[in-house]
Amino acid sequence: MGRAAGTHPVTAVIDADNHYYEPDDAFLRHLDPVFSDRALHIRRTGDGIGRPYFGDQPLYYLERSPADRMGRPGAWRHDKDGRYQPLPDHELLTPGHIPHFARREARLQWMDDVGVEACLMWPSLALGVEVQMRDDPRACAANFSSFNRWLDEDWGFDYQHRIFAAPWLTLVDIELAASELDDLLACGAHAVAVLFSPVDGRSLGDPYFDPIWARCAEAGVPVAFHGAESGYNQLFSTHWGEPGRPSAHTQSPFQRAAFFERAIMDTLASFVLHNVFGRHPDLQVLSIENGSAWVPYLLRVMDKAVRSGMYGAWLGGSFTDTPSDIFRHHISVAPNDDDDIRGLADLIGPGRILLGSDYPHPEGHPDPMHFLDGAGLTPSEVRLIAHDNAATLLGLASASDVG
């Protein structure tokens, strides 16, 4: 395995945010034929570029498959908002030329070469599809069930105790979600991805969803909210005269400013203030690739809301701890490399921060081992963030690679 140079506090990191690029049949390979006319699939034109479709409707958010002419890892590292602008040709890679983007044995070799002991794996295509598929809840559930079978087959929920691909659980049908979750846990999932957005008019903190959170808490499997198309433009933009379903590349400055961080803040606030953790004290939640600039604001306004007096009903039951302390006991955050990681450690503690490089996406960090360089952290803090925190959440036996 690759080793860190000099006096780096760890010899290998655990990266909470690695990505794969999906093949065209990721949702199709195991799909129930009943839903063949409502499948998430890729249609290719004469130039070979693929457009994602759900049934006969093109996806509004993703205008082409992310696996086609992907950006070089780190191409937007110093301009993360540039990810919504086209890259020049010299920054684009052709599918199939980078085996470790799509095959786990090649990814393991890359991990050995760069000093990544283990990683949580997340989608590329699948991050932008659930909102549109919610128009047909049963087809949505069937497509994601098929996707999860493909994911375990090609990457593995626990492959050689190093690659931990997180399956995606849609909550559009609670009975189907509970059944799917039982299967995922039986197959060894170490984290479960859920879209950070209300479902059919219900807060994720509503006790209606307790069968899901109870299963995760009992299994010791964290619920993870990875950055994705949340549907917040559909919920709110039309009330401000903006389109409800813009593509990733056509969101307006107003939409980016008003709704980009809103969804993750509201979702985590719902878990705290709707008392999910009071009802499920063993539950752990991860925020991945949502940045961290919003964390100080969220903690302050939640605490102030409780201090200033609560006169309405407490959905989910009341609690006595301060919301910020509840957050610090149950929620772990993976900041971007340009966030104030030192300030975040001072606010929520280094034990609540995860290293998430976003490799190999173009807005990510191309070298996970050096993600924390220059963050102003002590060696013991680096060990926690770069390795031990993720090891604990993933249930790994020990911090064996800590120097």
> What one-character-per-residue DSSP string does 324-359 give?
HHHHHHHEEE---TTS-HHHHHHHH-GGGB-----B
Among 239-253, 307-321, 371-385, which stretch is predicted with the lowest mean pLDDT?
A: 307-321
For β-strands 57-58 and 50-54, DSSP reports them as antiparallel
Residue type, 334: A
pLDDT digits (tens, 9 = 90+) for 27-48: 999 999 999 999 999 999 888 8
Rounded Cα distance, 354 and 288, in Å: 8
Query: Would the pLDDT of 262 be above 50?
Result: yes
Average pLDDT over residues 245-264: 91
Q: Give SS3 for 29.
A: coil
Rounded Cα distance, 162 and 336, in Å: 23
Query: Would the pLDDT of 152 be above 60?
Result: yes
How many Cβ atoms sit within 10 Å of the Cβ of residue 2? 15
Rounded Cα distance, 317 and 365, in Å: 41
Phi, psi of 287 (to 5 degrees): -110, 115
How many Cβ atoms sit within 10 Å of the Cβ of residue 48? 10
Rounded Cα distance, 401 and 379, in Å: 14
Handedness of CA 181, 186, 189, 191 (dihedral sign): positive
Rounded Cα distance, 40 and 38, in Å: 7
Query: Would the pLDDT of 82 be above 60?
Result: yes
Query: Would the pLDDT of 4 be above 60?
Result: no
Residue 312: the pLDDT is 60
Query: Would the pLDDT of 3 be above 80?
Result: no
13-394: CATH topology: TIM Barrel (3.20.20)
Q: Among 339, 218, 194, 334, which Cα is nearest to 270's?
A: 194
Answer left, alpha or beta for residue 291, where phi above 0 means left and psi between -120 and 50 means alpha.
Answer: left
Residue 8: the pLDDT is 79
CB 61 within 8 A of CB 128: yes
Among 139-153, 216-230, 296-310, which stretch is predicted with the lowest mean pLDDT?
A: 296-310
Q: What is the pLDDT confidence band of residue 84, given thresholds at 50, 70 and 90?
A: low
Q: What is the pLDDT confidence band of residue 88, given thresholds at 50, 70 and 90?
A: confident
Query: Would the pLDDT of 6 be above 60?
Result: no
The pTM (predicted TM-score) of the whole model is 0.94
Q: Among 137, 272, 306, 139, which Cα is nearest to 204's?
A: 272
Q: Among 222, 202, 212, 144, which Cα is nearest to 178's?
A: 212
How many Cβ atoms sit within 10 Å of the Cβ of residue 200? 11
Rounded Cα distance, 225 and 221, in Å: 13
> Where is 297: in which H helix or E strand?
helix 295-307
Query: Would the pLDDT of 132 be above 90?
Result: yes
Query: C-alpha angle with apex 355: 354 to 358, nearest 5 degrees?
Result: 125
Average pLDDT over residues 169-197: 98
Q: What is the pLDDT confidence band of residue 399, given thresholds at 50, 70 and 90?
A: very low
More confident residue, 97 or 16: 16
Q: What is the pLDDT confidence band of residue 403, given thresholds at 50, 70 and 90?
A: very low
Six token digits for residue 392 = 């604990």
CB 1 within 8 A of CB 12: yes
Strand order in the sheet with 192-193: 192-193, 223-226, 285-288, 331-333
Rounded Cα distance, 18 and 22, in Å: 13
Average pLDDT over residues 384-401: 83
Residue 400: the pLDDT is 42
Phi, psi of 220 (to 5 degrees): 70, 30
Query: Would the pLDDT of 83 be above 80?
Result: no
**What are the C-alpha distances in Å from 158 to residues 16, 104, 119, 172, 373?**
14, 11, 10, 26, 29
Q: What is the pLDDT confidence band of residue 86, given thresholds at 50, 70 and 90?
A: confident
pLDDT digits (tens, 9 = 90+) for 13-22: 999 999 999 9
Query: Would the pLDDT of 180 be above 60?
Result: yes
Percent of the chain with pLDDT over 70: 94
Residue 401: the pLDDT is 39
Residue 207: DSSP 8-state: G
Mean pLDDT of the chain: 92
Q: b or e along 75-89 (b: 16 or more beta carbons within 10 Å of the residue's beta carbon)?
A: bbbeebeebeeebee
